Amino acid sequence: MEETVQHFKKRSPKRKQERFGKTISLVATIFIVSIVFSILFFVASRGLRTFTEHGVSAIDFFAGTAWRPGEVSDAGEPLVGAFPMIAGSFLVTIFSALLATPFALGAAIFMTEISPKTGKKYLQPVIELLVGIPSVVYGFIGLTVIVPFIRQIFGGTGFGVLAATLVLFVMILPTTTSMAVDTLNAVPRYYREASFAMGATRWQTIYKVVLRAASPGLLTAVIFGMARAFGEALAVQMVIGNAALVPDSLTTPASTLTSILTMNMGNTVLGTLENDVLWSLATILLFMSLFFNILTRWIGKKGAMK
């Protein structure tokens, strides 16, 4: 008996295969994790040089409103206030999410609850197509359609937070919608049946049962959209105007962390303050996306416990 057990333990080809598979996935995991950590380390260590090497105070960086790297103030401090970009990033993210959420929810409800047939046949392919369009195309359309349109209505140049918000709205709408659709589809059919069987109307069922049951997933969908908006560079850069000013209106040129990064990253010399502050901006971006990530995970966990 003992012998046979030993025999199977040693020679079974299945066991060998399993060991092989385990080794491969372990190596891959270690590889991925080390890449992630090296990126984090690399970006953060460069970003921190702004404060350690160049002696910029954190307050001046996060709250300062003058962004003219390379120049110094009358007091001799470098002008690297990142607040205009931080504000710009948060504004376009929040506005586009506020705008996109009701549309995404409405479309998702239509596609899952009201008319699944039309949804599957026409809307689903359209949304999948929209998800796949490269952001430069969205930016280009924004530049040729939205910016002149805003210029006509509100005057000014047309570049600014409003233009960026509208472009981002169109960009995150399909992402948020398709995630919301998946979430609503995952709500078990028997919840709906139980509700209908008690004489609830369709709207009561959607509102009181389906949306409630799906709320963690829907929140995740919105946050995913926000993460995408926060990280989008090219399309925003094309329509926001790229003036490093705290936006005092929605239709004057402004900037975001990403737009300043893409504008300037080719024009600075490694090791200078001008270059290192860009890494600081990148560090903020990185930690924000980490934050969005953790947030969705946390919501997922909370939702699962219910």
Partner 1 sequence: MNDVKNTHPVYTIKDFNLWYGETQALKNISLEIPEKQVTAIIGPSGCGKSTFIKTLNRMVELIPSVKMEGSIHYKNEDIFKPNAKVESLRTEVGMVFQKPNPFPKSIYDNIAYGPRIHGIKDKKTLDEVVEKSLKGAALWEEVKDRLNENAFGLSGGQQQRLCIARAMAVEPEVILMDEPTSALDPLSTAKVEELIHELKNDYSIIIVTHNMQQAARISDKTAFFLNGEVIEFDATEKMYSNPHDKRTDDYISGKFG
Contact residues toward partner 1 (CB under 8 A) are 117, 188, 190-191, 193-201, 204, 208-209, 212-213, 306
Q: Using CA atoms, how far apart are residues 152 and 162, in angstroms rounded to an integer?
A: 13
Return the structure tokens found at 271.
């090791």
Smallest gap from Cβ 297 to partner 1, in A, equals: 20
Instruction: In angstroms, give the least distance from the CB of 99 to partner 1.
Output: 30
Task: Select 149 or 191, whichever has its Cβ closest to partner 1.
Answer: 191
CA pair distance 67, 79, nearest whole angstrom: 5
- Locate 177 and state its tokens: 């919608």
The answer to whether 89 touches 256, Cβ cutoff 8 Å, is: yes
Min dist CB 199 to partner 1, Å, is: 4
Q: How far is the CB of 304 from partner 1 (least distance, A)?
A: 11
Q: Which amino acid is at 56?
A: V
**Sequence-separated (6 or more) residues with CB below 8 Å from residue 136:** 234, 235, 238
Q: Which is nearer to partner 1, 109 or 213 (CB)?
A: 213
Least distance in angstroms from the C-beta of 296 to partner 1? 20
Nearer to partner 1 (CB atom), residue 116 or residue 156: 116
One-letter amino acid of 242: N
The CB-of-198 to partner 1 minimum distance in angstroms stands at 4
Tell me whether residue 1 or residue 198 sits nearer to partner 1 (CB atom). 198
Which C-beta is closer to partner 1: that of 269 or that of 304? 304
Question: Quick one: 1 or 197, whose CB is closer to partner 1?
Answer: 197
Residue 11 or 117 with smaller CB distance to partner 1 = 117
Nearest distance in Å: CB 107, partner 1: 21
